[in-house]
Structure 1
Amino acid sequence: MSRLSNDLSFVRALCQKLRVPELKYLQDFGTSTDKTLDLEGVRQHFVLEVGQYEVSLLDHLKKHYEGAQKSGVNNIAFILDRCFDVWLRKNCFPHEIANILSVWRFSLFTIIFLEQKKVFQQEGVDQKKILASVIGLLELIATDCIGWSAVPERSKHLLLEQLNDVSTQVIANLHSNLELIEDAELKWKDFQDKQRSKFTKVTQRLIESESQLCWKRFSFWCAQSYIDSVFARKKLPESLQCFLDSYWLNSVAVHLVCEDGLHVRLDAEIDKLTQSLMKAFCQQGKALFQLADSLVDDLKKVLDRSNIAYDESIFNALEESMVSLLKQEFCDSFVPYTSVPTDITLNEQFSHFDISRILYKDEVGDSSVPQNDSVEKLNLEESDWFVMGTDQASSPSMILLNRFDYAGLFLFGNYLGMKTGIYTRQELDHLLNQGEIKPYKQGESFSVVFNACVKGLMRVADSQQKARIAAAEKAKEEAERLLEEKRLAEEEAEKRAQEIAERTKELLKRREDKKKAQLEVSALAKVQKLTIGAWVSLTIGDQAERYKLVVKIAASSKFIFVDKLGIKKKEYKEVDLVDLVVTNKMEFLSDGAEFEDSLQRVVSRLRMAK
């Protein structure tokens, strides 16, 4: 048998220990009699009912399996509901993707449920690998879905349809077949490879075209700014103004070079010729005599080298202006230099650029251009994702495709590689500060959330178990205390009962003794009254016999009885007669008074006879 992985063992232990207050629990697996959970039935109903972001395994189980569930079933559903809800909330997926990924909780439910049911006991099944494969595929899909947006409408179904197909294959895998999961992963990777290939081709063409356009516009603006800086507040002949506007502006732009993607360098010869034009036509004096012979030829060579077509008449006009200057014939007719009208968007895009940063000759540019703004603080890099709105789940996303640092421009595109916008540094800083654009918040991976949730719930379960143990100990102590109190009460009651019984017995004894004493006194009185000739009935055994008292000796308290024939039968002490009377064994038939009367009459007759 394959050994259970630590992860699943940890989850199994949690499922056995955790108790959620609002849930009803039966006994654990194998010990209860509730109906077996039908995974296929659960899956079909669960998938069909998924239409909301907050889909819950627990609610589904309650709806289709009424009553209490085994602790394993309830707790697996509770744990996975919690993990997925936290993970989806942290990652802020678009609702369309979140709804699909949310259903994956059933796949994990199947794996853990079957492990709890001890299905994975045959050789060759690696539960840890199965669980890791499903979570790994889920995290891969989550990463690949970053930047996806529901717009444009015509393209959104490509990813959703593929995601639905892969999800259906994984969720329908009720026996956790590793090959099916691996096949689903291969399908997803193949789809993503094709999408990345398309994205790369589209973005390469976009970056190339935007780079050319950006450099063309920027170099033209730099050339214009450079010429403006050289001839600012200068007066010059109209021929030079025309040459600068029509030819030299383009020539300067052609000879600007971007170094390291950040610095702009102007060809030293162009800078020298520009300065020569200014000195020759605007400062006059000796410079004109020094430059007049070669200036026009040098200008023509530069234009030819730059493939800029020109009309000879412009140079004829320049030569005529130089001759006039040498003769000093029309200096007063010079006009102030005017800049060539340019597209207003050029100033909007590049007005922040400091023309003094153009490098000349052997100057070395500063490798860093510190700016205390949001762009600098965020340290934006190509392939960084951003959200165009406040709600990441519903707002379109865009990726930074390229930075034109020399011009301070940032090119953005969508997940398809299509251009979404190009922003100046100032515009981007403003949008970031206002929150209209914000960095894409990529949440934690599912494995991190899963482990954190399981560990957190385990701490809760441990606390619950300790509380249950403490409660059981307390209940045991309380029961023992109550039993002890009951025992003591029973002993006290028994003691009191014994005391009452003893007192009652004593009272009864006293009463009987008193009664006996009374009987003895009465009996003694009767015995003492016996006289000679008294008849009594004595019960010996079952026989009652009649006896006559014939002798009564007062000194020795002796009484002698005879039967009716005068034969001596009984002799008793006074105390014996009292006992016989008290015990009702002797009954007085006569007390002997008749004998005394007869005797007295006999004595009286005898006396009278004398």
Structure 2
Amino acid sequence: MQQSTQKKRKVLSRKQVVKRIGDVLSGIRVPDLPYPAGKVAADAASDWRPLLLSCWTEQRDEPVTRVIRSVSLTWSVRQINSAYVADRIMDVFLKTSGLHPELALRIARLRFFLAWRMNLEGAGALNDTIVHWLDSLQDCRGWSGSGGRSGRALLDQLDSLTIAVSGCFDSGDVGPVIEFCRQWEEDAGKREQQNERLRQRLLETEQGAARQRKSEQTARALVGRALQNRQLPQAVVRFIFDHWFALIKQIVWQEGTEGDNWRHASKLLEWLVWIGDPALSDKDRNRLYTVGEQIGDRISDVWNRVNGKPLDDSALQGIQSVMVARLRGETPELVSALPEGDRFSWDPSWLSFSAPPEAEVEPLLGKWFVEGEGAAERRRYFFALLPDTCEVLWTNGAGVKLGLMPWPRFSTALDSGTLRLLPPLTPFGQVLAETITSLSVVLERQTLQREEAAREARARAETLRREKAEAEQLRQQEEAARQAELARQKKAAEDRRIADEEAEQQRLLQERETAARELVEGIKLGGWIVEESSSEGKDAVRLKLAVRINASRKLVFVDRLGLNRREFLVDELVDHVVMGRVRVLGSSAEFDDALSRVVGRIRVGRN
């Protein structure tokens, strides 16, 4: 099953890094850091320059964030983020720079300086001069804490950096560090010119020494192989070591092992051993005569060709004496051909010496190799492979020899992991760009999260407002319904009261009408009534019932003189009596009282 991998974000350019640092310093938030609860005014934040200067002076290997957490002071958001970004950059630099751990650790202490400057000027703390100087530290990738002169010189320069940074903290200006970086660049140019001369001189010297070693070791191997486990006359042994050994070295030095002189010298060495060892030459007397006749001339001929001058006759006297004795059948006194003990060491591998393929060597030339771990780590530069000896020439990269290693041993160490290639170095500028790119991604994600949180907060606020509005509307509706219900109940009560009053008035009216009707019905002919005047200033009129017409229910009244006739229908007269416009004059006081009480109740009901 194929797995999809997220594409790695493109690293920001230098210009983009400069633009983004300010946003990162002001906008990013990192868990577990002591951010202030609210916005801190510029004059309210604590001054951390004395604290950072103290850490730098003591050369403490401690993150800035841990330092500011260890004290109970008020820090601004920018200070905390500056500390975090400085720590992040230097922590990544420690892991990926490829410099020696001790050297990288000293450079990483600049975190205190960078945190201080980033808080003040943002991206200006990492100007081109400082970044270029930090990038140039790749030239020191071969430094090892071996205590050598070149190693101590670099540490002395870094001690000057300590003084320069302290001067910046004291003055509040980056001038001392800028001057240090420029001086470093000038010194580096001078050192490179000097190192180039040293490298060329070292290569010439080591190539000559390798050629000398090859001739020495090859001659030793040839002689050692020929004389191994042999007993020879002392004269033969002396000639081989005093004359022939030097001749073989000279041949290897001048021509190598591929020419005729090498082949003839090797063959003559075998003849000398064959002649001197009775165990070999006694088996073939005829050949002994033949070799004995030719060996002197052959030795002189080879010697003359190689050295350009004849061999002294005295040098061959011992060989000739041995030949005469051997031809006579005598056995001369024999001695061990090789010196006892380790006085003559030799390695037969030099006789089968072969250079490794160029395709195998070429990728390794000019590469750095590491041996050991941590503080015990040692770095070596593969400066050259000496062709005569197939030895790797190690240097410190500046023309100082660190040692030699035979190619077979080098291959074995490389295969076993004892010796390993130095991983590719990461320039500080790349570390800076990758770190700010990573933090920019975090900032963008946090910004989106904040915007999403703000939208959610606004949505929650809107929901709460809407819920409150709906609740208020519901409350108002309930209040309106309650008020309407109260009004309805009040109106119903009022209606009931009015209805009760009207009913009471109707009842009283009916009682009055009944009483009035009884009065009217009870008026006899000649009975009197009093009609109140409807106009002011006129007196009431007393009338007497003169005629009752039952068919039409009409009553006819006249005044005392029988004039001013006035007619009433029974119902009409009852209404007038009820309304009080007409009073019926009875014959007894009880009737008047009863009528007054009825009228009084009607008036009270109206009020």
Mark yes or no: TM-score above 0.5.
yes
Alignment of 1:442-591 (within 5 A): 443-530=425-512, 531-532=515-516, 554=571, 558-560=575-577, 561-562=579-580, 586=606
Alignment of 1:140-155 (within 5 A): 140=136, 142-152=137-147
One-letter amino acid matched to 2:472:
E
Runs (5+) with no aligned partner, structure 2: 1-13, 521-543, 545-567, 586-597
Show the counterpart of 2:8.
none
Show the counterpart of 1:272.
264
Distance 1:583 1:214 in 2: 152
One-letter amino acid matched to 1:132:
D
Distance 1:586 1:158 in 2: 127
Distance 1:287 1:36 in 2: 110
Show the counterpart of 1:104.
110
SS at match of 1:410: strand
Q: Quote the offset at 1:69 in angstroms.
A: 0.7
Distance 2:576 2:76 in 1: 98
Q: Quote the offset at 1:406 in angstroms.
A: 3.7
Report if aligned partners of 2:55, 2:112 keep a CA contact under 8 Å in 1: no
One-letter amino acid matched to 2:216:
F
Q: 1:135 to 1:312 in 2, by over 3 A?
A: same
SS at match of 2:62: coil
SS at match of 2:364: coil
Distance 2:601 2:212 in 1: 153
Q: 1:87 to 1:509 in 2, by over 3 A?
A: same
Aligned partner of 1:246 among 227, 230, 242 = 242
Q: Which has the higher helix share?
A: 2
Q: 1:426 to 1:469 in 2, by over 3 A?
A: same
Distance 1:5 1:115 in 2: 16
Alignment of 1:326-341 (within 5 A): 327=327, 329-330=329-330, 338-339=337-338
Distance 1:137 1:77 in 2: 22
Report if aligned partners of 1:147, 1:414 keep a CA contact under 8 Å in 2: yes
Q: Quote the offset at 1:57 in angstroms.
A: 3.4
Show the counterpart of 1:82.
88
Aligned partner of 1:11 among 21, 24, 27 = 21
Q: Quote the offset at 1:565 in angstroms.
A: 11
Q: Quote the offset at 1:302 in angstroms.
A: 4.4
Aligned partner of 2:62 among 48, 55, 68 = 55
Report if aligned partners of 1:251, 1:302 keep a CA contact under 8 Å in 2: no
Distance 1:276 1:346 in 2: 22
SS at match of 2:257: strand
Q: Quote the offset at 1:449 in angstroms.
A: 0.9
Q: Quote the offset at 1:65 in angstroms.
A: 8.1
Is 1:390 aligned with 2:398?
Answer: no
Is 428-437 or 458-467 further displaced after alignment?
Answer: 428-437
Distance 2:574 2:237 in 1: 180
One-letter amino acid matched to 1:255:
I
Deviations 1:567-591 (A, max 9, x none): 9xxxxxxxxxx9x98996636xxxx
Show the counterpart of 1:316.
317
Distance 1:344 1:527 in 2: 165
Report if aligned partners of 2:232, 2:334 keep a CA contact under 8 Å in 1: yes
Aligned partner of 2:41 among 25, 28, 33 = 33
Report if aligned partners of 2:145, 2:151 keep a CA contact under 8 Å in 1: yes
Is 1:355 aligned with 2:337?
Answer: no
Aligned partner of 1:381 among 354, 358, 365 = 365
Q: Quote the offset at 1:425 in angstroms.
A: 3.6
SS at match of 1:505: helix
SS at match of 1:20: coil
Aligned partner of 2:76 among 63, 69, 81 = 69
Normalised TM-score (structure 1):
0.68
Q: Quote the offset at 1:285 in angstroms.
A: 7.1
One-letter amino acid matched to 1:16:
S
Distance 2:344 2:97 in 1: 38
Q: Quote the offset at 1:457 in angstroms.
A: 0.8
Q: Quote the offset at 1:456 in angstroms.
A: 0.7
Distance 1:166 1:508 in 2: 96
Q: Quote the offset at 1:134 in angstroms.
A: 0.9
Runs (5+) with no aligned partner, structure 1: 118-126, 358-364, 371-375, 535-549, 568-577, 588-610
Q: Quote the offset at 1:448 in angstroms.
A: 0.7
SS at match of 1:66: coil
Q: 1:490 to 1:237 in 2, by over 3 A?
A: same
Over alpha carbons, which structure has the higher Rg? 2
Show the counterpart of 1:424.
406
Q: 1:45 to 1:160 in 2, by over 3 A?
A: farther
SS at match of 1:525: helix
One-letter amino acid matched to 2:164:
Q
Q: Quote the offset at 1:447 in angstroms.
A: 0.8
Report if aligned partners of 1:385, 1:399 keep a CA contact under 8 Å in 2: yes
Q: 1:34 to 1:111 in 2, by over 3 A?
A: closer
Alignment of 1:206-285 (within 5 A): 214-227=210-223, 239-257=235-253, 264-276=256-268, 278=270, 281=275
Is 1:403 aligned with 2:413?
Answer: no
Report if aligned partners of 1:17, 1:462 keep a CA contact under 8 Å in 2: no
One-letter amino acid matched to 1:269:
N
Q: Quote the offset at 1:68 in angstroms.
A: 4.2
Deviations 1:380-429 (A, max 9, x none): 335x44444221x4534444454334434334355786655433344444
Aligned partner of 1:131 among 99, 119, 127 = 127
Report if aligned partners of 1:238, 1:335 keep a CA contact under 8 Å in 2: yes
Report if aligned partners of 2:382, 2:393 keep a CA contact under 8 Å in 1: yes
Distance 2:183 2:199 in 1: 24
SS at match of 2:389: coil
Q: Quote the offset at 1:131 in angstroms.
A: 1.1
Distance 2:49 2:313 in 1: 85
